[in-house]
Structure 1
């Protein structure tokens, strides 16, 4: 097959996904920003809607190239490491077995090594310079023309990262229509949170290494839960800790210093990661190295009590006069959830809200045609 043109599209890394198109496509402008920031992304090279190659940009200047067979399955994997500043060295070239050759273990290696007849390096591509990888198509039986035209067929820029629409509605009691049917929002008092250091931490209490931090005045502040009650269950839809008795002027995504919203795709967000089914508000000093938060204490005083269906929150006291911890169940369990900080016009923190995404946002309703939330 002579290849004289290729369609170029972009998306997230594919992982174990197999298919003819990106499972999570992104605009070329977003991929370019991720390239400049050293972040991973994937480039799909197709001909007549048939995938021929996928290029993955990995951290630290590494690249991976997959070549596809006639059934749109990954048939060969080639890994590259940086060689100086302007070249890539081919370090691994692996033929991948097809699933019908080996049962359920698709993707296992059947042979590997670099052919001595091939030049084991190529130029390191600038963004968009995918001609670098065109000669490798010959390893899958294709014949690139002397000139191969690249056509950008990536998706258009959308509305960008998840927007903070409808945050107040998360904590307004009353009936709701949800993707799962009729429901009722009820508010529950989860107690008072004591902050002594001037820094609030939002984190999974079982994994404290990288909390989201918000600067607030020292003091004691009320924690409120939004409970979504359906005919089948009661789940925590959102949690709020309030610092000022005034409506927020604006809502901001709660970011770490190294996070750039410009690197997020349509509806994406930076959030709090959850691996224990639990989120906590606490003083940031407790998120460093606190013997009160060892596994045994957490199991007995936090995770076990929250395992009961009628218990949505729990307080873990600190030493006398010291900061405490208020933990609560994370929506429907593990995942990543957006954390929003409501601020005054002058920039003071009014409240912090964790949205467990049980309600579709206005943005999600627009992009999904009213069918409910789209994946983060």
Structure 2
């Protein structure tokens, strides 16, 4: 593991805690006595990556998609979500403060001994400065896991949606051909001709780091994204 990519102690601790039910990540920014707690880590769905080439990027990007240099075995992979809650009263009503705190593509269930930032094809590690983060950029607060070989087809619904929105009359409803999961937190796009999938998730406005969890033998067990929480102080 290259030291320039290795997660610092604070990031590594957070990555372990956010994927552990019952862990407390901190307190609400506006309720300092209310803890933000991981209440559930559950399976969202599975995604097919038949090429073994994984892209983690915004499905809306108009740039070359960010395909990870790390290859995984062609196959079907479980995607988990870590859910946090910070129950509090808001305008006289009780609210759970539920948010998605992490999204994990499970490559294997082997124990993880360390975390590192993932590089993408074309990244030059020699230009990486100490403390600098690398990741994908988006202004739509949406990222995705997708098979890189099927990227044009898998992102077609998002491109069509943008094009239709630009040409339709104001107030006209435009939909896209994707499947909503978990009450809109995730969307799935499929390419049956290649048996490949794309799954969207909540990401950060700006840059989002893609973390690799490595096992004792150096193989990748998890690919994880942790969007910023709106409730956390």
TM-score by length of 2: 0.71
Query: What is aligned with 2:211?
Result: 340
Match of 2:21 among 173, 187, 193: 173
Match of 1:183 among 12, 20, 36: 36
Q: Where do 1:30-179 residues align within 5 Å?
A: 163=8, 164-166=11-13, 167-176=15-24, 177-179=26-28
Answer yes or no: is the 8 Å Cα contact 1:206–1:295 preserved in 2: yes
Answer yes or no: is the 8 Å Cα contact 1:205–1:280 preserved in 2: yes
Match of 2:202 among 314, 329, 336: 329
Q: 1:321 to 1:259 in 2, by over 3 A?
A: closer
Report the Cα distance in structure 2 between the residues aligned to 1:178 and 1:337, rounded to whole angstroms.
22
Secondary structure of 1:246's aligned partner: coil
Match of 1:244 among 108, 111, 126: 108
Q: Where do 1:240-319 residues align within 5 Å?
A: 240-256=104-120, 257-260=122-125, 263-266=128-131, 268-288=132-152, 292-296=156-160, 300-302=176-178, 305=180, 310-319=183-192
- Deviation string, structure 1 residues 133-172 (Cα, Å, up to 9, x no partner): xxxxxxxxxxxxxxxxxxxxxxxxxx99852412121111
- Deviation string, structure 1 residues 316-369 (Cα, Å, up to 9, x no partner): 222156101111222xx522121111123333221100121439xxxxxxxxxx
Q: Where do 1:358-369 residues align within 5 Å?
A: 358=229
TM-fit CA distance, 1:179? 4.8
Q: 1:313 to 1:245 in 2, by over 3 A?
A: same
Secondary structure of 1:252's aligned partner: strand
Query: What is aligned with 2:48?
Result: 194
Equivalent pairs, count? 197
Q: 1:170 to 1:237 in 2, by over 3 A?
A: same
C-alpha RMSD of matched pairs (Å): 3.2
- Deviation string, structure 1 residues 228-262 (Cα, Å, up to 9, x no partner): 22235322211100111211232221013433376
Report the Cα distance in structure 2 between the residues aligned to 1:278 and 1:305, rounded to whole angstroms.
14
Report the Cα distance in structure 1 between the residues aligned to 2:81 and 2:48, rounded to whole angstroms.
17
Structure 2 unaligned blocks of 5 or more: 88-94, 163-174
Secondary structure of 1:210's aligned partner: coil
Query: What is aligned with 1:350?
Result: 221
Query: What is aligned with 1:59?
Result: none
Q: 1:200 to 1:160 in 2, by over 3 A?
A: closer
Match of 1:224 among 80, 83, 101: 80
Q: 1:288 to 1:228 in 2, by over 3 A?
A: same
Report the Cα distance in structure 1 between the residues aligned to 2:219 and 2:7, rounded to whole angstroms.
22
Answer yes or no: is the 8 Å Cα contact 2:12–2:114 preserved in 1: no
Report the Cα distance in structure 1 between the residues aligned to 2:19 and 2:211, rounded to whole angstroms.
13
Answer yes or no: is the 8 Å Cα contact 1:313–1:326 preserved in 2: yes
TM-score by length of 1: 0.46
Are 1:211 and 2:66 an aligned pair? Answer: yes
- Deviation string, structure 1 residues 55-74 (Cα, Å, up to 9, x no partner): xxxxxxxxxxxxxxxxxxxx
Answer yes or no: is the 8 Å Cα contact 1:160–1:264 preserved in 2: no
Report the Cα distance in structure 2 between the residues aligned to 1:187 and 1:259, rounded to whole angstroms.
34
Report the Cα distance in structure 1 between the residues aligned to 2:5 and 2:191, rounded to whole angstroms.
41
